């Protein structure tokens, strides 16, 4: 593991009552992190929660605070530090492990890590498809999902810090299982992954920690207790019971 805790130092917090603070400090999970920090206890952590609960806001700020570009991309890129950070990325700090401190303070080119967001990953895939040598396979002959996994598999060979925002977007059920396998291996290799997801398949990665975010703020939750899993289970059992409400006039 590389990072143990994300927090905002007291002297950086805007003064005044929590309610009067600017966005995104008013988003419940961010407000809770501002109060007490967020602990990371396992190599893989999933952030799960409804749309608008603050997952992307957190993951982007985590990336920036680690020196990764919030627009997505790999560590060690030039110019990352020349761009203004997001509000939260600017306030956030990492408490690292010894291995994390070595990576973070080392030369830019030695940094390993990647911020993967679905939007930029697609553009990235287009840019590199057909470029052999970077990886053995020719990704231009693959489907989007296949190429995506090939690129991920190659990129993930080193124990860096990986932040992901809904990486399941391009992936089928079977491809999601391959991503679970990749994530699991990454976790075992000394890397660290923090991943926002709506996928009950990804969230079930063995040994992973799950933090559920929502109106309550954030809390550690077991996979079987997630609202996401409950919804999927009940929907798969009986879609009609859900659809009655959806189509009711
Ligand atoms: N630049 C912004 N300024 C103000 N509010 C924003 C901005 N970006 C997102 N929000 C709001 O912050 C909340 C959290 O958004 P987001 O982190 O994207 O949620 P999630 O990724 O969990 O769907 C949402 O209510 C969203 O509308
Ligand atoms: Mg999001």
Q: Where are the beta strands (DSSP E) in the chain?
A: 3-7, 38-39, 44-48, 73-74, 93-96, 113-117, 161-165, 192-196, 209-214, 217-220
Backbone angles phi, psi at 180, to 5 degrees: -60, -45
- Are the CB atoms for 72 and 120 separated by under 8 Å? yes
Q: Whose CA is nearest to atom 4 of ligand 1?
A: 23
Q: Give Dmax over CA atoms of the chain in angstroms.
A: 60
Tell me, what's the pLDDT at 96? 95
Mutate to test the pocket of ligand 1, among 21, 22, 27 (most ligand atoms within 8 A of CB): 27
Distance 48 CA to ligand 1 centre (A): 15
C-beta separation of 229 from 200 below 8 A: yes
Indicate the burial class of 28 (C-beta count within 10 angstroms; 0-12, 13-18, 19 or more). middle
Q: Which ligand has its closest atom nearest to the C-alpha of 31? A: 1
Pairwise CA distance, residues 211 & 182, whole Å: 20
Give me the pLDDT at residue 120, please.
58
* Predicted pLDDT at 79: 45
Identify the segments of the chain with pLDDT beneath 50: 78-80, 133-134
- Domains in the chain (CATH in brackets) are 3-247 (3.40.50.11940)
pLDDT at residue 83 in the model: 62
């Amino acid at each position: 593991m590389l990072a143990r805790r994300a927090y905002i130092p007291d002297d950086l917090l805007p003064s005044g009552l929590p309610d009067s603070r600017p966005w995104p400090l008013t988003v419940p999970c961010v407000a809770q992190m501002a109060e007490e920090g967020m602990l990371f206890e396992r190599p893989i952590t999933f952030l799960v929660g409804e749309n608008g609960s603050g997952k992307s806001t957190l993951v982007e700020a985590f990336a920036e605070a680690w020196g990764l570009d919030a627009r997505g991309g790999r560590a060690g890129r030039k110019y990352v530090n020349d761009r203004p950070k997001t509000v939260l990325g600017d306030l956030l700090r990492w408490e690292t492990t010894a291995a994390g401190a070595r990576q973070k303070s080392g030369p830019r080119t030695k940094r390993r890590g990647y911020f993967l967001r679905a939007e930029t990953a697609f553009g990235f895939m287009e840019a590199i498809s057909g470029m052999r040598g970077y990886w053995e396979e020719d990704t231009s002959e693959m489907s989007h999902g296949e190429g995506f996994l090939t690129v991920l598999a190659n990129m993930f060979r080193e124990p860096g810090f990986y932040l992901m925002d809904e990486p399941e977007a391009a992936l089928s059920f079977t491809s999601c299982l391959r991503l679970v396998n990749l994530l699991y291996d990454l976790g075992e290799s000394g890397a660290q992954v923090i991943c926002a997801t709506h996928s009950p398949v990804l969230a079930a990665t063995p040994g992973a920690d799950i933090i559920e975010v929502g109106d309550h703020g954030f809390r550690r939750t077991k996979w079987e207790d997630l609202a996401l899993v409950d919804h999927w289970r009940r929907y798969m059992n009986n879609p009609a019971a859900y659809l009655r409400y959806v189509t009711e006039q």
